[in-house]
Amino acid sequence: MTKRFGAREALRGVSFSAERGERLAIIGPNGAGKTTLLSILGGLLEPTDGGVRLPGDAATGWVPQQTAVYRKLSVRENLRLFARLEKVPDPDAAVARALEDTDLTERAGDELGSLSGGNQQRVNIAIGLLADPPVLLLDEPSSALDPRHRLRVWTFLDRKAEAGTTILFATHDLAEAARHADRVLVLADGEVLFTGTPRELETEVGAGTDFESAFVAFLQKRGH
């Protein structure tokens, strides 16, 4: 697909597929087109050219980079609201499950605006999980999380993938991509520079002990 914003080309002929239960990391510099790509997959943006094919009536769940929540409502009220908006069959059960999965049960009654940034991000993730979608799209899900909650969220997401949920996530954390992705898609200036396993990417960029520096050098060599 291609996506243009006026004269700016945010995606230039990006094409890929993902298997059921696969975890695909989308990595690349700021402005590469990661959020644009995930937004199109989530049906929030229309591509200029091309399109997305999902099996059957498969819906996608969306965890945005920026939180879209009501700061004056409690955590539980936010989740209930989104569960109703998404027409989840049993909203109360879905809310309870999402709170449990993100370790937020104890904070359920707190006003959302009073939570720390990382805890608000966990609410954001909980909202994306409400409908238990077969394809989950997460835009930098762990960037604000402390190591314990990052681990908890990933334990949960890895288990989801094992059960057949396809997980696409954008991240700037190469170690996270290496640990939790089956396949990596490197995007720069709207173009796919690489797709393959994290191990293949390490080989491609010539990473020894310092994957991050090697990755930056790889991008530079490719003109980014």
Ligand X SMILES: Nc1ncnc2c1ncn2[C@@H]1O[C@H](COP(=O)(O)OP(=O)(O)OP(=O)(O)O)[C@@H](O)[C@H]1O
Q: Name the DSSP class of 174.
A: H
- List the interface residues with Mg ion, window 11-70 (CB under 5 A): 34-35, 65
Window contacting ligand X (CB under 6 A); options: 31-39, 146-154, 192-200, 216-224: 31-39
How far apart are CB 121 and Mg ion at their closest, in Å?
14
Helix 91-101 to helix 75-85 angle (10° resolution) is: 130
**Is residue 142 a contact residue for Mg ion (CB under 5 A)?**
no
Q: How far apart (Å, rounded) are the C-alpha atoms in residues 160 and 22? A: 10
Selection from Mg ion, ligand X, none that 87 binds (CB < 5 to 8 A by kind) is none
Looking at beta carbons only, is 35 or 120 nearer to Mg ion? 35
> Tokens at residue 196, please?
């393959």
Cβ proximity to ligand X: between 44 and 59 the closer is: 44
| CA gap 181, 170 in Å, rounded | 10
Q: Residue 64 touches which of Mg ion, ligand X, none (CB < 5 to 8 A by kind)?
A: none
> From the list ligand X, Mg ion, none, which binds 10 (C-beta under 5 to 8 Å, kind-based)?
ligand X
Distance in angstroms (rounded) separating the CA atoms of residues 126 and 204: 36
Are the beta carbons of 141 and 95 closer than 8 angstroms? no
Is 33 a binding residue for ligand X by CB under 6 A? The answer is yes
* DSSP assignment string, 25-78: EEE-STTSSHHHHHHHHTTSS--SB-----STT--EEEE-SS----TTSBHHHH
Annotate each residue in 34-73 with x if it binds ligand X (CB under 6 A) or - if it does not, as one string.
xxx----------------------------x--------
Q: 31 is in the binding site of which of Mg ion, ligand X, none (Cβ under 5 to 8 A by kind)? A: ligand X
Q: What does the binding site for ligand X look like in residue numbers (CB under 6 A)?
A: 5, 8, 10, 28, 30-36, 65
